[in-house]
Amino acid sequence: MKNMILIGFMGTGKTTIGKLLAERLGYQLIDTDELIVQKAGKAISAIFAEDGEPVFRDLEHTVLRGLLGEQKKVIATGGGIVLRQENRELLKQIGRVVLLEADPEAIISRLKDDNSRPLLQGTNEEKIKKLNDILAVRHPLYEKTADQVIDTTGMTVGEVVEKIVSSI
């Protein structure tokens, strides 16, 4: 079996679901954001602040390209990985792509204690507006790339994993 790749916006459960899915399938979990941090030698927030988003996106592409040829991996990706056409093509080559979705209120609730994300600053209304603006750009790209779409709103991690496994 090829790799399983989880895409979607932050807070949809990619890393959490990825851990359980990898365990269930007997695969290794790979988090592209962790690989980027290792490669850059600094936090993602520092990459954005010091080097800018284009440098981060270049690192993201390099890391993704490095996963070609891997097998039996569950790959949790960063939310913006689909912004580049070449990344969308690579994702499809690397494995089966599962889009995890959640409604904005669920995302904000799941990430309420995470102060490291610039998007999550401000009132709930401001957060929801920012989220919807970003999703307006990314959602069509997510859907174009995905082999399967799962709305994780109101689902447990186990239920999402079962849904993915039963569809293989």
d(CA 55, CA 8): 21
pLDDT for the residue numbered 61: 97
Residue 127 has pLDDT above 60, yes or no: yes
What pLDDT, on a 0 to 100 scale, did the predictor assign at position 35?
96
Average pLDDT estimate for 137-157: 95
C-alpha distances in Å from residue 62, one per residue of 38, 50, 57, 75, 115: 13, 19, 9, 15, 28
> Which pLDDT belongs to residue 117?
60
Mean pLDDT score across all residues of the chain: 91
Residues 6+ apart with CB under 8 A from 57: 80, 83, 84
d(CA 126, CA 104): 11
- Is the dihedral angle over the CA atoms 48, 8, 6, 64 positive or is it negative? negative
Question: From CA 69, how far away is CA 59, in angstroms rounded?
Answer: 18
| Residue 2: per-residue pLDDT | 85
Do residues 146 and 99 touch, judged by C-beta distance below 8 A?
Answer: yes
Q: Supply the pTM of this predicted model.
A: 0.92
pLDDT tops 80 at residue 156: yes
At 72-126, the pLDDT tens digits run: 999 999 999 999 999 999 999 999 999 999 988 888 887 776 655 655 677 778 8
**pLDDT score of 147:** 96
